[in-house]
Amino acid sequence: MGFLEQQSIRWLALDIDGTLYPPRMLNARMVRSTFPSPRLAFAFNWARREYRRVQEHVPTDPPSREGLLERQATMVAQRLGQSDVPKIRERIERQFYQSWARSFLSIKAFSDLRTTLETVKEAGLKIALFSDFPIEQKPATLEIADLVDFAITSEESGYLKPSKHAFELLLQHIDAAPSEILYVGDSYTKDCQGAKQAGMHAALLGKRPHSQAPDADLVAATWKELAALIL
């Protein structure tokens, strides 16, 4: 009996970037988005880190993607010592969001991903995708769109993982109690600890020893290994 049956899991929720396809593909695309303005890229990366650091103490207003994008642009503008937030927001959209939408059209899924998800569906579970980045065409590009029941970015909540507000957005859209969800991700702090804080089960995908990921219910190096644990 696998973990899904043991814990009466009804939904398998998945991070996307670095979880459904290799981190090296993600990293290569992140490097490309450093241009044409490395200065903007450094400020943007700082703002995302700072956003996570303060988001539980300073609420996003309004708590929506619009609120997040505006707050993010304001932080980037302040970091750059500029005051034209609308212009900075336009630059962020062009250099990052639009660039990512194009570059992620060539990503390739991990081997054994689709086979595992097909078996999960055959067992009667539903599948959700939940990422800090826009979903765009990633499910189709990864050739799993037909298996996905729901997909949303945490940005829609106005917060980023591991915020409890971000995971609450996911819970609002799926018909399951937190204890009936297994969340799988490649980040221990953002994915596993965030999911556990929301009351979900969590699996870490990566080569990190389980002893270094005490909050994770499961740790697996590959999708094949994860399948053996959950099915």
pLDDT tens digits for 34-92?
999 999 999 999 999 999 999 999 999 999 999 999 999 999 999 999 999 999 999 99
Beta strand 201-205 with 218-220 is parallel
Beta strand 150-153 with 181-185 is unpaired
Confirm whether pTM is higher than 0.85: yes
Using CB atoms within 10 Å of the CB of residue 12, give its burial: 0 to 12 exposed, 13 to 18 middle, 19+ buried: buried
Count: domains in the chain = 2
Of 172, 135, 159, residue with least CA distance to 64: 159
What interhelical angle do 65-80 and 85-92 show, nearest 10?
110
Are residue 151 and residue 94 in the same domain, yes or no? no
The SS3 call for residue 127 is strand
Residue 1 above 90 pLDDT? no
Mean pLDDT across 220-229: 98
pLDDT for 180: 99
Using CB atoms within 10 Å of the CB of residue 141, give its burial: 0 to 12 exposed, 13 to 18 middle, 19+ buried: middle
What interhelical angle do 113-122 and 223-230 show, nearest 10?
20
Q: What is the mean pLDDT of the chain?
A: 97
Residues 181, 174 contacting (CB under 8 angstroms):
yes
The SS3 call for residue 123 is coil
Are residue 155 and residue 199 in the same domain, yes or no? yes
The pLDDT tens digits of the residues spanning 64-78 come to: 999 999 999 999 999
Domain endpoint, select from 65, 86, 104: 104
Contacts of 1 (CB under 8 A, 6+ apart): none
Q: For residue 122, what are the domain limits? A: 3-21+107-230
Residue 144 above 90 pLDDT? yes
Contacts of 34 (CB under 8 A, 6+ apart): 41
CATH code at 111?
3.40.50.1000
Are residue 30 and residue 117 in the same domain, yes or no? no
The pLDDT tens digits of the residues spanning 114-126 come to: 999 999 999 999 9
